[in-house]
Amino acid sequence: MDVFSKLESFGDRFRLERGLTPHSDWIACHRLLDPSSKELSRVLEAERVASGQKSDHATALTVMAVYAGTVTAAALLAWALERVVVDMRPQNVAIRLSDHHGFEAVALREPTVVEAPVETLVSWVLDEHLLPLASAMRTRTRAGLRQLNGGVAHGCAAAFCIASRRGGDVDLLERAYKEFLAASTGGLDRLGRVIKLRQGDREGLFYLRNTCCLYYTSDEAVKCSSCCLDSVDDRVTAYRRVLADGVIPH
């Protein structure tokens, strides 16, 4: 099984299209790093309409969390599972918008995969992609950079946590996450933490956020399962129910 097939086996969140099909309205991700670009406007407006957010800064925080948890998540999981780095630098990635919360598809212009250390993963995913995007959204919407980076931290952790509950080796994923976090930039280690829980015969990784993406202020009016507005004890209790029920929280 090649790395792309293995990623897809963990769910649509990790599916990467290879090559850009013509006339499919792809948005080049490197354009999103320009805070004045029409592409960034389109992404923010699509999320505002889809989720019914009430403010620009809340929309930006929601976009940042879902972007980090879907667009670049495959690169993190590929490295955790195979110790390879998928080239998800922004100039090699494109997204297609959805009518619903999140994105319809993620594509690579060139499906490049290299054997590389965690420092390359951090450079390509954080330093060249997610953190500059957070900075662009800060400039565009005045959303707080700490909260935006909290969305980055949450999204990155989601790759390891969700895979741990979809058949991935929990101990391997936990070790990989700790290695990624130790090498990460942007102060991700201060913005939340991953915990390992067991309930009955099920085990998994879960994230405890220290920042809020304000999704509860949208028309959806629901809090994320990792929301820092809930106590740690309440979140752990809810996560244990997740394990008992065998479902995947967002």
pLDDT digits (tens, 9 = 90+) for 80-93: 999 999 999 999 99
pLDDT above 60: residue 249: no
pLDDT at 166: 92
pLDDT at 1: 65
pLDDT at 243: 87
pLDDT above 70: residue 221: no
Q: How many Å apart are CA 80 and CA 244, to the nearest integer?
A: 26
Q: How confident is the model at residue 152 (pLDDT cuts 50, 70, 90)?
A: very high
Q: How confident is the model at residue 51 (pLDDT cuts 50, 70, 90)?
A: confident
Average pLDDT over residues 203-222: 80
Instruction: Count how many residues are written for the chain.
Output: 250
pLDDT above 80: residue 127: yes
Which of the residue ranges 76-80, 102-106, 149-153 would you say has the lowest mean pLDDT? Answer: 102-106
% of the chain at pLDDT higher than 90: 72
HEC string of the chain?
CCHHHHHHCCCHHHCCEECCCCCCCCEEHHHHHCCCCHHHHHHHHHHHHHHCCCCHHHHHHHHHHHHHHHCCHHHHHHHHHHCEEECCCHHHEEEEECCCCCEEEEEECCCCEEECCHHHHHHHHHHHHHHHHHHHHHHHHCCCHHHHHHHHHHHHHHHHHHHHCCCCCHHHHHHHHHHHHHHCCCCHHHCEEEEEEEECCEEEEEEEECCCCCHHHCCCCCCCCCCCCCCHHHHHHHHHHHHHHCCCCC
Q: What does the pLDDT look like over 161-184, one tens digit per residue?
A: 999 999 999 999 999 999 999 999
pLDDT at 247: 58
The whole-model pTM stands at 0.93
Average pLDDT over residues 68-79: 97
Q: What does the pLDDT look like over 178-196, one tens digit per residue?
A: 999 999 999 999 999 999 9
Looking at per-residue pLDDT, the higher value among 239 and 78 belongs to 78
pLDDT above 90: residue 42: yes
Domain ranges of the chain: 3-245
pLDDT at 229: 78
